[in-house]
Amino acid sequence: MIRPSKIQNRRRRGLLVVGTAAAVLAGAGVVQAQAAEEADVLLSYRKPATASTFQDDGACSSCTADKVTDQDVTTRWATSSTEGWVDPGWVTIDLGASATVHRVVLQWDAAYATDYQLQISDDAQNWNPIYSATSGPGHREDLTGLDGTGRYLRMYGTARSNGYGYSLWDFQVYGTGGDPVTPPQPVADIDLPATDLVFSDEFDGPAGTTPDPARWRADPGTGQNGEQQYYTDNKNATTDGAGNLAIEAREETPPECAGCRYTSGRINTLNTFTFTYGRAEARIKVSGTQGLWPAFWMLGANFPEVGWPRSGEIDVMEHVGKVPDATYSTLHAPAYYGGGGYGQPYTLAGSDFADDFHVYAVDWDATKMTFSVDGHEFFTADKETVEKTRGPWVYDHPFYLILNNAVGGDWPGAPDSTTRLPQRMLVDYVRVYQ
Ligand SMILES: [Ca+2]
Ligand SMILES: [Ca+2]
């Protein structure tokens, strides 16, 4: 609606035999045949990094080298736009002590290296290649079977994918030795289908009841994206007495905004309910007419701290009045957002979604999200596919629910002479299962 597992590879490092047959025969010892197995761990987390140059401007603010080791796929290193869009370009991680490297994961930005080496060194002076690419594919490259020893590892790029520089969201190094810092534990995955009801609102109150403050808070103010409405403090969001919440868009100038011509409602669960993974569903009868833009969607709960699109956005359902017979499900992240979001429409040709209630849902776990309308699964966003084709997957943390009914804006366009107001978006229920 805003438009513009720490994997541990276990490697058997050889069989260590302690004791001898002779010792057994003598009764003086015990034969121990044990697998001396040393686990590969993430060696690069929070390790210092340096780079040929870094970018710090409006296009990429504070895109310093340490952003490749922060285990945050919404931050990136990039070479300087004024002096760094040249070859070679490099970023070096100091692993803190000598390490043996077995695996590297690179999550590139659109500005990636087609030709590059991974080089290792004991002194950051003399480098030995442990991997060479001559036609690197960019996006996510998971390089296994590596074998090199040293304290410093660098990506040394010699050819760029486009006219820009080099940029990495993440540069993960796995192996043994070094001086590893234990990374944060990932959120526990769940098994789908999710069937335990953990949040619900059936909106069964008497007519005129505002949303339960234990579940929802109004989010008053103007909208983004060139929207024209003013969202009131629940004056436009009340139950209809028939089991639904009605979010009503009206043509009126609110006292809070002298320049506004429309009012509507927007509510969310940021301060009352957030969740990671599960099924979120709502039964909704969207509003129609030119210029209307009802939505059921989610933002990362870290939105107040990191902003958008770093928070991530999951649009379970959006509808624009000018396209009556389609709804849309879309993901937004720092590498793909706005008109470039990752999504699909669901179309019932010739129908008008504003004519009836439909159930809009997402089933979300650590590997994928599947979107459905009335049980028809029409779009699956697969984590691995997204990482290999679009960019980082930024949905492994808590999100909160949002309902709103926008008027105008870049996507639906402004109301015109055909627009009929007021218009109600009716929500029969919202339920979340885990
Ligand atoms: Ca990062
Ligand atoms: Ca209901």
Query: Both 151 and 62 in a single domain?
Result: yes
Nearest ligand by distance to the CA of 357: 2
Query: Both 205 and 234 in a single domain?
Result: yes
Return the pLDDT at 23: 38
Q: Does residue 143 sit within a domain?
A: yes
Distance 249 CA to ligand 2 centre (A): 20
Taking the alpha carbons of 190, 194, 196, 198 in that order, is the dihedral positive or negative? positive
Q: Does residue 3 sit within a domain?
A: no
Query: Both 223 and 164 in a single domain?
Result: no
Confidence class of residue 432 from pLDDT cuts 50, 70 and 90? very high
**Average pLDDT, integer, range 330-357:** 97
Return the pLDDT at 135: 97
Number of independent structural domains in the chain: 3
In percent, the amount of the chain with pLDDT more than 90 equals: 91
- The 10 Å Cβ neighbour count of residue 24 is 12
**Average pLDDT, integer, range 204-218:** 98
**Bridge pairing between strands 89-108 and 221-222:** unpaired
Q: What is the pLDDT of residues 223-250, one digit of tens each?
A: 888 999 999 999 999 999 999 999 999 9
Please count the helices (runs of H) and the strands (runs of E) in the chain: 3, 32
Query: Both 206 and 240 in a single domain?
Result: yes
Return the pLDDT at 1: 63
Return the pLDDT at 263: 98
CATH assignment of the domain containing 55: 2.60.120.260
**Residue 196 pLDDT greater than 50, yes or no:** yes
> SS3 for 407?
strand
Query: Both 276 and 422 in a single domain?
Result: yes
**370 token code pair:** 């599947």
Q: Where are the beta strands (DSSP E) in 24-166?
A: 32-39, 41-42, 49-51, 55-57, 60-63, 77-78, 89-108, 113-121, 128-133, 140-143, 148-160
Q: What is the pLDDT of residues 67-120, one digit of tens each?
A: 999 999 999 999 999 999 999 999 999 999 999 999 999 999 999 999 999 999
Q: Rounded distance, CA 361 to CA 184, Å?
A: 30
Q: What is the pLDDT of residues 295-328, one digit of tens each?
A: 999 999 999 999 999 999 999 999 999 999 999 9
Distance 68 CA to ligand 1 centre (A): 5
Distance 84 CA to ligand 2 centre (A): 58
Confidence class of residue 409 from pLDDT cuts 50, 70 and 90? very high
Peptide bond into 398 cis (omega under 30): no
CATH assignment of the domain containing 318: 2.60.120.200
Query: Both 71 and 96 in a single domain?
Result: yes
Return the pLDDT at 51: 98
**Residue 8 pLDDT greater than 50, yes or no:** no
Q: What is the pLDDT of residues 248-267, one digit of tens each?
A: 999 999 999 999 999 999 99
Return the pLDDT at 411: 95
Query: For residue 21, what are the domain limits?
Result: 10-39
Return the pLDDT at 18: 36
Distance 169 CA to ligand 1 centre (A): 5
Return the pLDDT at 24: 38
Nearest ligand by distance to the CA of 108: 1
Return the pLDDT at 305: 97
Q: Does residue 2 sit within a domain?
A: no
* Residues 49 and 69: beta-carbon distance below 8 Å: yes
Return the pLDDT at 430: 98
Return the pLDDT at 14: 34
Q: What is the pLDDT of residues 32-49, one digit of tens each?
A: 444 456 899 999 999 999
> Which residues are bridge partners to 35 per DSSP?
15
Confidence class of residue 399 from pLDDT cuts 50, 70 and 90? very high
**Residue 17 pLDDT greater than 60, yes or no:** no
Q: Does residue 289 sit within a domain?
A: yes
**Average pLDDT, integer, range 189-203:** 97
Distance 327 CA to ligand 2 centre (A): 21
Nearest ligand by distance to the CA of 431: 2
Q: Does residue 107 sit within a domain?
A: yes
Return the pLDDT at 122: 98
> SS3 for 27?
coil
Return the pLDDT at 2: 67
Distance 245 CA to ligand 2 centre (A): 8
Q: Rounded distance, CA 155 to CA 108, Å?
A: 12
**247 token code pair:** 């979010």
Distance 147 CA to ligand 1 centre (A): 24
Q: Rounded distance, CA 317 to CA 319, Å?
A: 7
Return the pLDDT at 29: 40
Distance 67 CA to ligand 1 centre (A): 4
Distance 384 CA to ligand 1 centre (A): 18
Return the pLDDT at 253: 97
Q: Rounded distance, CA 87 to CA 89, Å?
A: 5
Nearest ligand by distance to the CA of 67: 1
* Residues 404 and 247: beta-carbon distance below 8 Å: yes
Query: Both 88 and 201 in a single domain?
Result: no
Query: Both 167 and 131 in a single domain?
Result: yes
Q: Does residue 19 sit within a domain?
A: yes
Nearest ligand by distance to the CA of 426: 2
